[in-house]
Copies of this chain bind each other. A is one copy, B any other.
């Protein structure tokens, strides 16, 4: 789930995670599939858990992140708002900046790991 080798970043609101790698990936999947259940499946996450995360996202921010349509087959579709897209982009930017800021320290850190995270250099 983390996009950057060796780190995950979470952004907090009053000490509770507002967005992190899981929620960012979920919103991106909902944006791709137009469906919370399809996004949950793609991530190997339960539908219930995906709903909880969407609820938490919509609660955390002043504007909605995901809009859901009631009715239709399987409870209707879901749509990521423009704000939701910007939110994921903002999170990705912060992840990227943090990753660059600690790149050198991370290499040193990795030397001490029993199983260093060397799957792929840099972004993946």
Contact with B along A1-45 (1 / 0, CB 8 A): 110011111111111011000000000000000000000000000
| 24 pairs, CB–CB < 8 Å, chain A vs chain B | A2-B12, A6-B11, A6-B12, A7-B9, A7-B10, A8-B10, A9-B98, A10-B10, A13-B114, A15-B117, A15-B119, A59-B114, A60-B113, A61-B114, A63-B112, A83-B112, A87-B112, A90-B109, A93-B105, A94-B102, A97-B101, A97-B102, A100-B101, A101-B101
* Least CB distance, A84 to chain B, in whole angstroms: 11
9 smallest A-B Cβ distances: which pairs? Answer: A101-B101, A98-B98, A94-B102, A97-B101, A8-B10, A13-B113, A14-B115, A94-B105, A61-B112
